[in-house]
Amino acid sequence: MTTTTLTEQPAAADTGTAAPYAVRIDHVSKAFGRPGAQQHVLDDISIDVAPGEFVCLLGASGCGKSTLLNLVAGLDAPSAGGIETPGGRPALMFQEHALFPWLTAGRNIELALRLRGLPRAERRTEAERLLELVRLSGAYGKRVHELSGGMRQRVAMARALAQDSRLLLMDEPFAALDAITRDVLHDELTRIWRETGLSVLFVTHNVREAVRLAERVVLLSSRPGRIAHEWRVDIPQPRRIEDAAVADLSVEITEQLRGEIRRHGQH
C-alpha cells in the first residue's frame, strides 16, 4: 500500500483562493501491527468537511472513530490514502480535559497561546476573551480543582480555540458529563460554532448527541471502519435533544447502527 501522511496546505488567505474544504480525507486506511499480523482498523475512508461545516462521526466502540480523528490531527499517519488540511494544523479537544492542575484556568489557556507564538503582553487579554467566549468570565485565576466538570471542559474548549485553527476536532468531549451539563455544553458549542464559523469534526457514539449538534452525520461500520451511511440533518438550529424531529432521525440512525453491530457480531 502507498502511505501518504497529512498534508498542510497554505491557508486560503495566503493563496487568495478559498479552499473548498476544511479537511479532505481521501481513501484513508489504517492498520496496526507488523506485516502478516496486521489489525485493520479503517478501510478506504473518504470524507470532505466543508468550511464552517459541523460533521459528526458516529459508530460503535472500536470502529475507528478516534483513530481517524488522530490521523486528521497529525498524531499518526495513515497506512494508505491522504489527508489535507488547507488551513493548517487542526485544534484537538479530547474526552478528558487534560488541564495542568498546577496552573490556573487562564494559565492553561495562555500555554496554548504561548505555543502559538503570541507575545506575552497579549496573552492574558486573549485568555480572558476566550474565557468570556465560553462563558467563564472571572475564572482566569481559578485552579482546576475549583472547577466543576463542565467548567473544566469549557476551559479545555477555550484552550483548543486558543490554537487559532479554523478546524476543531473533538473526541467525545462531553461523554463523561452528566446529562444536564452535557446539554448545556451542547448549547454552548453550537453557539460558539455559529459565532466563529469554525469547521468541526466531532466523534461520538451517542446518536442523539450527533443529531442534536451536526449538519451531517457519518456512520462508520464496525471494524474495520468503513463509511456505512450518511445523513444530512436539516433540522433548524438551535435544537433540543428532546425535539420530535431530533428523536425521529435518531431512531432511524439507531436502527442503522444496530444493523452494523449485528453484522459485526456475526463474523
What architecture does CATH give domain 3-90+166-265?
3-Layer(aba) Sandwich (3.40)
The alpha carbon torsion through 206, 260, 171, 43 (nearest 10 deg) reads -170
Stated as kind and residue range, the H or E segment containing 41 is strand 39-49
pTM confidence score: 0.88
- Nearest CA-CA partner of 19 in 29, 9, 28, 27: 9
Domain coordinates of the chain in residue numbers?
A: 3-90+166-265, 97-164
| Strand 54-58 relative to strand 199-204, pairing | parallel
Locus of grid cell 469549557 = 154
Stated as kind and residue range, the H or E segment containing 170 is strand 167-171
Q: What gap in Å lies between CA 20 and CA 76, rounded to an integer?
A: 24
Instruction: Tell me what pLDDT residue 2 has.
Output: 38
Q: What gap in Å lies between CA 265 and CA 161, rounded to an integer?
A: 40
DSSP letters along 58-87, please?
Answer: E--TTSSHHHHHHHHHTSS--SEEEEEETT
List pLDDT tens digits, range 31-82: 988 777 778 899 999 999 999 999 999 988 888 899 999 999 999 999 999 9
List pLDDT tens digits, range 212-226: 999 999 999 987 899
